[in-house]
Amino acid sequence: MKGHKGDTKNCYMSGRNIFPHRLPLRPTYKNLINYYASTSIQARNMADGAFLFERMVNEDDTIWLGIAGVGIAGGMGGIVIELMERGQIDVICSTGAQVYHDLHFAFGLPVKQGSPDVDDNDLRDKGVTRIYDIYIDEEKTLKAQDEIIRDFCRTLKKRRLSSPDFNYELGKYVLKHAKHPERSFVAMAAKYGVPIFWDSPSNHSIAMNIAVMTQEGIRITIDANLDVIESAAIVFNSKATGFVELGGGGPKNFIQQTSPTVSQIFKIPFEGADRGLQITTDQETNAGLSGCTFKEGVSWGKYKDATKGLVQITGEYSTIFPLIAGYVIEVCNVRTFKNIIEHKKEMRDKLEAAAKAVK
């Protein structure tokens, strides 16, 4: 009978043997990832994600990092900085909140470990804000940060900007004025020419501070139209594109809409991104964007192929991404900086010329 236990031709039994391997004696990132690759469930999936990120780097993809959730406020910005320093992140899309909280570390404003098991009424009475187990002082950190943002806004000569241009100027300001600019991924992105998009121009504390500047007669506009066009232009002009998504939410949607913007809106023949890696706790069955599969995204033209180059890991990214990033840092060579911030206009011109040619 076909497929019975003794059938050596059964294609379903041609995979790698699972074996109870012992932990590696030298627990390097490479050894740990290779150990995970020999197992199953999310451990093997995590290894597949690490190998995919490695391919993105080695095959010179333009690599986008999507940052949702609380990773930066929780101290993970150093990993982002190290990947940028090695040319292994080329573009970022972050929630504005993570850009805002990133600056606390550059300016030495207190962010402390706390506990989720606390009386939040008492926290409020004592002027402490909480993000799960992260404590932030309202006066010494948030209000001090607000004043820094407003001081930066007063220095801006150009008042209508895309979010990457705003964040580039903000990063340069941090490099010049902060006590510890090396702790800020926003500052280091400015240094290495990595554009930082926001998934929303208004849904964060920086936007709240921009809004209040109108009381001083300073009207700054973050133009979402520019963001849509510039992000699509980067993907259109890239030899290959890889997305690495921490969590889901707005950043996932923003970076994945780039290819449909080219093909569906500008009507330029375009297949979609080459590779995608996501780490999320969200489930497909919720029918929300954060948990939807990359295969589903192929139906929208967000990715090229539903059968390869796509890995989604179920888990909380603060525990998973450090291992994957450590593996890539360990096994991959440093890449030449793409310095996309300096080439955005040229890329946009090429996209708009292609759109006119189609018409």
CA atoms within 13 A on the CB side of 248: 19
Question: By C-alpha distance, which of 85, 187, 197, 104 is closest to 142?
Answer: 104
The SS3 call for residue 275 is strand
Is 182:188 a contact under the CB 8 Å cutoff?
A: yes
End-to-end CA distance of the chain: 60
Question: By C-alpha distance, which of 236, 230, 210 is closest to 221?
Answer: 210
Is 251:67 a contact under the CB 8 Å cutoff?
A: yes
Residue 220: what are its φ and ψ, rounded to 5°?
A: -105, 130
Q: Looking at the chain, list the stretches that DSSP marks H as alpha helix, in order from N- to C-terminal side.
A: 29-37, 41-58, 77-85, 96-106, 120-125, 144-155, 163-177, 185-192, 205-212, 224-236, 249-256, 258-260, 294-298, 317-331, 344-358
Is 201:163 a contact under the CB 8 Å cutoff?
A: yes
- Looking at this protein, which amino acid is placed at residue 177? H
Is 351:233 a contact under the CB 8 Å cutoff?
A: yes
**267 given a catalytic annotation:** no
CA distance 57 to 351: 25
Rounded to the nearest 10 degrees, how much is the dihedral formed by the CA atoms of 72, 226, 297, 79? -20
CA distance 348 to 230: 6
Is 68:246 a contact under the CB 8 Å cutoff?
A: yes
CA distance 89 to 76: 15
Catalytic-labelled residue, pool 252, 302, 338, 344: 302
Catalytic residue annotation: 302
